[in-house]
Amino acid sequence: MSPASRPPLLLTRPRAGSERFAAQFRARMGADWPVVIASLLEIEPTGAELPAANALIFTSEQAVKPLADSALAGKPAFCVGERTAAVVRQAGFPVLATAPDAEHLFDVILTAPDPGPILHARGNESAFPLAERLSAAGRQVAEAIVYAQRPQPPAPEMLALFAAPGPVLVPVFSPNSGKLLAAAAQGARAELRLVAISEKAARSCTDLPATTLQIAARPDAEALLDALVALT
């Protein structure tokens, strides 16, 4: 594929995650593949109070650092995703179990021995009411919103991509980022080739003027990469 014909990769998640994903994509497709990072979300810690707990739930790696610096450091944890589990281990938390998404983690936690009080450390946006569902099933689960996702205005580089005809590769990592992307891309002339990490993420951007909208085979970065590479 000639350099001029390569569709740029647009990444809208917070910068650290976007830079990591860009490196993974370029490792497959070439170090000079065009990538535009235009974050529609940034992460801010909330300083929330943390109740006592015997075990933790991490559904995002963004929640790990606030707890690693707290009295709950080193508590065993249930995790969503292998990436989150790796970050949890690196921060010194033992991992009790991992599941690909919150819905599956619900089943995993219910079948595991009851550890007593559990704390779900999460962000201000949640696609699945995990703590509520676990509490209704008889587990003692509290929540702490330890970080907030703050929407960012569309960057000029993003708007320039949308204004020009031609294909653009766009992974959608969450329902929240999909909604923000859909708002930013209204009236776009570009041919958006979207790959969503889940059905919920895909539903959040169904109003986009996309020529292609696919759902990754699994809710992880590797499956997103596979689908994006197939669309080049």
Please state, in angstroms and rounded to a whole number, the distance separating the CA atoms of residues 188 and 168. Answer: 11
> Residues 9, 22: contact at Cβ < 8 Å?
yes
162 pLDDT higher than 80 = yes
Please state, in angstroms and rounded to a whole number, the distance separating the CA atoms of residues 4 and 166. Answer: 11
Q: Spell out the SS3 assignment of 163-188.
A: HCCCEEEEEECCHHHHHHHHHHCCCC
What's the confidence (pLDDT) of residue 205?
87
Average pLDDT over residues 220-230: 95
Query: What tens digit of pLDDT does each residue of 89-146 get?
Result: 999 999 999 999 999 999 999 999 999 999 999 999 888 999 999 999 999 999 999 9
Question: Percentage helix, strand, coil, to 5, in the chain?
Answer: 35, 25, 40
Q: Does domain 43-149 have CATH number 3.40.50.10090?
A: yes
Domain ranges of the chain: 3-40+153-230, 43-149
> Residues 37, 18: contact at Cβ < 8 Å?
yes
3-40+153-230 topology per CATH: Rossmann fold (3.40.50)
Same fold, 3-40+153-230 and 43-149: yes
pTM reported for the whole predicted model: 0.86
Q: What is the mean pLDDT of the chain?
A: 94
DSSP-derived 3-state class of residue 41: strand
